[in-house]
Structure 1
Amino acid sequence: MVEAAKILDEGKAVSLTFPGGVEQRFHAIWLRDNAWDESTRAQGNGQRLITLAEISPETRVVAARTNGHKLQITFDPGAHEVSYDIDWLAERAYDGVRPRVAGWTAPGIETWDAELGERVPSAEFAAVRENDAALGDWLSAIHRFGFAKLVGGPVRSGALLEVVEWFGFVRETNYGKIFEVRTEVNPNNLAFTGLGLQAHTDNPYRDPVPTLQLLYCLENSASGGENMVVDGFRAAQRLRNEDPRGFDLLTRYCARFEYIGGTGVCLRSRRPMIELMPDGELVGVRFNNRSASSIVDVPYDDMDDYYSAYRRLGELIDAPDMQVTFKLQPGECFIVDNTRVLHARRGYSGEGSRWLQGCYADKDGLLSKLAVLQMQGEHAQ
């Protein structure tokens, strides 16, 4: 409910006073652009039917009145009448937005370190496959923590494709739809050896990078080979708290990444190691020493400090108190948000066998599926 609706500045805005005296102002042009009437939006899919150019820059509110949970607005020119859901407006209020410290994270994101320990998000394969509520909980955990495990799955080549089908689509690359992670002779990537790997994000040389990576275990009797994950967002925040200038340098200047490891393949990208939105939201980390190219976009006067920050970020990523470690068993897998969570592997010996299959996907599909499941849950209540 709204206690009062008032027209401001000769119709250029409307003020709504909510319970408790909280006032939120909305510009007339914003309200008109966000109208949901049949002449403005397609009722089936919500897409706009008109462009901003078709809305007069002289748009003004000439009448504003509340009716229960609705706000009735009349615009001029054209005496166009529109009804708004007040709760919908309250969720989208932009008045009073305050600057935030660079490196803030979106609601629903929880950063973590080694203390996550026994709280590693995990779910049963069969439950997630057969129950939408379990699937929603698992997808929600991936969104919250940036990774999650799945246990009790079939020990079958290609089973990881079924997992991706629950929420989206496989993103095929030069490594194929599925790539095999096991020791090879003369491999085209160090991931296909028994060497230990520093925590990293995958494919930083792509633009855009695959935003999800899935690794599924089929054999794992070799000594060693434990998987580790590190929250890149927590590492970036620790760097910001220790060295604000270093954090700024890694967000302001681009690193370069390159992969020329196969016939007919030459992949290059130019992006910051720590990526922020214009308002300072932390949205991405790219860190992969194996694929780093020459850094040439940093001015001479900043290069020393840039490298100090780069080194410190690597130290934070390598720190034991930042790492969560687990060893996958056959039929288990884990998925990581490849724009946030770095993954690593301890070296393993030639005794026994280790065979994982991997694939890439994108989190727009995951977030879409999660949103649909959440809306269905709300409607069922």
Structure 2
Amino acid sequence: MFFCPPLEVLYSGTCMRFDYVWLRDHCRSASCYNAKTNQRSLDTASVELDIKPAQVRADDTTLYLTWPDGHMTRYGLQWLTQNSYEGQKQQLVQPRILWNEKIYKEANVSSVNFLDFLETNEGLREFLQNFLLYGIAFVDNVPATREDTERVAKRISHIRETIYGKMWDLTSDFSRGDTAYTKLALDRHTDTTYFQEPCGMQLFHCLRHEGTGGRTLVVDGFYAADQVRQHHPEDFELLSNVPLKHEYIENVSASQNHMVGIGPVLNVYPWNKELYMIRYNNYDRSVINTVPYNVVRSWYSAHRILTNELRRPENELWVKLKPGKVMFVDNWRVLHGRESFTGYRQICGCYLSRDDVLNTSRLLGLKA
């Protein structure tokens, strides 16, 4: 281990650099941090920006800093490694398995039984692990009712109420001003791109279908985006830097809405370049007026490359939803669509709060 001003620490093969104001601000002593509430007590604005410790020393496991006022800060070196910028650059916020049709089918991901899901933490944990890794997960043998579908949803999270209400029924009656409320095919897309924060998770349960067609399409948007990153890095960069507007204007019977959401197609964490959200919906993309004219054609080219990846047949997974089988989709990752259908078809579903889904996952010991 080695350190020098401002402070450079080499530990377990990781070379870390710390500003002294950061080290003072993150002190975990009883006067600076409330261990019962896991909240900071120190007034960060009271720390001098040019603060320097009067003394620095370390042993095999701990770094000790004594500040000019006599206050002592202790850091475990393992904690520093995990929480340093250099350490975070080497870590994924959420581990995932990227997939196309072949990869997903060969993984033989199992569905979770309804009662196991509702009544045991083991069943819930297995389901959430599948969801976190693949972005889709299934619960089988669910009674084909709106009420039981709602029970399944609430097992994981609070239902996110939107302009569509809490639980919604999707039929082809065009009761809402959206193509989803028809019998037409829907190309792959993510939902609620016109929200400032698109809904994080949604579920679908086919309660009834008297007709043909209507298979559901799911595509791992992160797999497609990763192909773009590998083979066309400049296009990946463009799609992650150019903000676009998405818009939903509705004027049908009692539903009057005008929603606008702004953000790039690909969203990445700046410190490790990990992709965390894809916002892709050609139906709801608004007028492109946030891009200078000399960038427009490059953006269209990059968008075309991503679209071609998303539309590769080998990347498509087709699922026939039937009564009793509930499908959950990570709306920040997995695109969904459907083929056209005939007859009466009723889909029940809702949106869930992403924060609550991840909270439940962490409480069950999963990395999320």
Query: What TM-score do the two structures reach when normalised by structure 2?
Result: 0.89
Alignment match of 2:36 (pick from 20, 35, 44): 44
Where structure 2 has 5 or more consecutive residues not aligned to the other structure, the ranges are none
Q: Residue 270 of structure 1 aligns to which amino acid in structure 2?
A: I
Cα distance in 1 for residues equivalent to 2:363 and 2:270:
28
Alignment match of 1:363 (pick from 345, 354, 358): 354
Q: Which residue is equivalent to 1:109?
A: 96
Q: Which residue is equivalent to 2:334?
A: 341
Q: Which residue is equivalent to 1:282?
A: 275
For 1:309-348, what aligned pairs fall within 5 Å after superposition?
A: 309-348=302-341
Shift in Å, 1:96: 7.5
Cα distance in 1 for residues equivalent to 2:53 and 2:28:
17
**Does the C-alpha gap of structure 1 residues 65 and 244 become closer, same or farther in structure 2, counting only changes over 3 Å?**
closer
Q: Which residue is equivalent to 1:225?
A: 214
Q: Which residue is equivalent to 2:4?
A: 8
Cα distance in 2 for residues equivalent to 1:111 and 1:363:
20
Alignment match of 1:201 (pick from 184, 190, 200): 190
Shift in Å, 1:133: 2.2
Q: Residue 77 of structure 1 aligns to which amino acid in structure 2?
A: P
For 1:228-243, what aligned pairs fall within 5 Å after superposition?
A: 228-243=217-232
Cα distance in 1 for residues equivalent to 2:216 and 2:233:
31
Shift in Å, 1:171: 1.0
Cα distance in 1 for residues equivalent to 2:324 and 2:83:
43
Asked if the contact 2:218–2:316 (Cα under 8 Å) also holds between the matched residues in 1, the reply is yes
Match of 1:209, SS state, is coil
Q: Which residue is equivalent to 2:127?
A: 138
Shift in Å, 1:357: 0.8
Cα distance in 2 for residues equivalent to 1:214 and 1:16:
47
Q: Which moved more, 1:202-211 or 1:115-124?
A: 115-124
Matched, 1:163 2:159: no
Deviations 1:264-313 (A, max 9, x none): 31111222112223333212111112212221222222222322222332
Sequence identity (%) = 29
Q: Which moved more, 1:192-201 or 1:292-301?
A: 292-301
Asked if the contact 2:202–2:350 (Cα under 8 Å) also holds between the matched residues in 1, the reply is yes
Asked if the contact 1:128–1:135 (Cα under 8 Å) also holds between the matched residues in 2, the reply is yes
Q: Which residue is equivalent to 1:92?
A: 83
Where structure 1 has 5 or more consecutive residues not aligned to the other structure, the ranges are none
Shift in Å, 1:183: 1.7
CA RMSD of aligned residues (A): 2.6
Shift in Å, 1:95: 4.0
**Does the C-alpha gap of structure 1 residues 96 and 337 become closer, same or farther in structure 2, counting only changes over 3 Å?**
closer
Shift in Å, 1:244: 3.1
Shift in Å, 1:49: 0.8
